[in-house]
Amino acid sequence: MIEFITLQIKTHWLLFLILSIITIIASLASVSILLILLPSDYFTRKKWVSRIRNPILRLFLCLLKNVCGVVFLIAGTIMLLTPGQGILSLLVGVILCDFPGKRRVERKIIERPFVLSMTNRIRARYNRPLIVLDD
């Protein structure tokens, strides 16, 4: 199996390079967009209320949001070992997913000085208010 993968990489290295570049650009763009759209008081809110009243649409959007979150978690985990925004992708994945203890995990990630400064730098570039943490 390893020989097969090695052979594929050797014969299709240009395709792998192009796909890697596209993946890096797509991850940077999607993480940036999601962090820009995040409300500045997201980490200080106690309760989140959905504005969507239709239960079927709300269920569909919840499923779609969780699937996207899992994709970001997987991509972020991979990007921890390869080039890309691994920790920011993990943060976006955690924000999108719904699971018990989610707020605690979000806080642990965003409270890291590097993550908070990168997030606020991205938001400042697009004239968005900085992320507020209650200390």
pLDDT in tens, 50-76: 788 888 998 999 999 999 999 988 988
Q: Is the pLDDT of residue 101 over 70?
A: yes
Comparing 120 with 30, which gets the higher pLDDT? 120
In a domain, 97, yes or no: yes
Across the chain, mean pLDDT equals 85
pLDDT at 120: 92
Q: Is the pLDDT of residue 84 over 70?
A: no
In a domain, 98, yes or no: yes
In a domain, 132, yes or no: no
H helices of the chain, where?
A: 2-11, 13-37, 55-81, 86-96, 102-110, 113-125
Q: Is the pLDDT of residue 31 over 90?
A: no
Contact present, 124 and 130 (Cβ < 8 Å): yes
pLDDT at 77: 87
In a domain, 72, yes or no: yes
In a domain, 133, yes or no: no
Domain hosting 108: range is: 2-125
* Percent of the chain whose predicted confidence (pLDDT) is above 70: 98
Residue type, 71: V
Sign of the Cα pseudo-torsion (32, 36, 40, 44, in order): negative
Tally of domains in the chain: 1
In a domain, 131, yes or no: no
In a domain, 134, yes or no: no
pLDDT at 135: 59
- C-alpha pair distances (Å), 67 with each of 24, 47, 118, 123: 20, 22, 25, 25
In a domain, 93, yes or no: yes
Q: Supply 1's token pair.
A: 């199996």
Contact present, 39 and 51 (Cβ < 8 Å): no
Contact present, 31 and 84 (Cβ < 8 Å): no
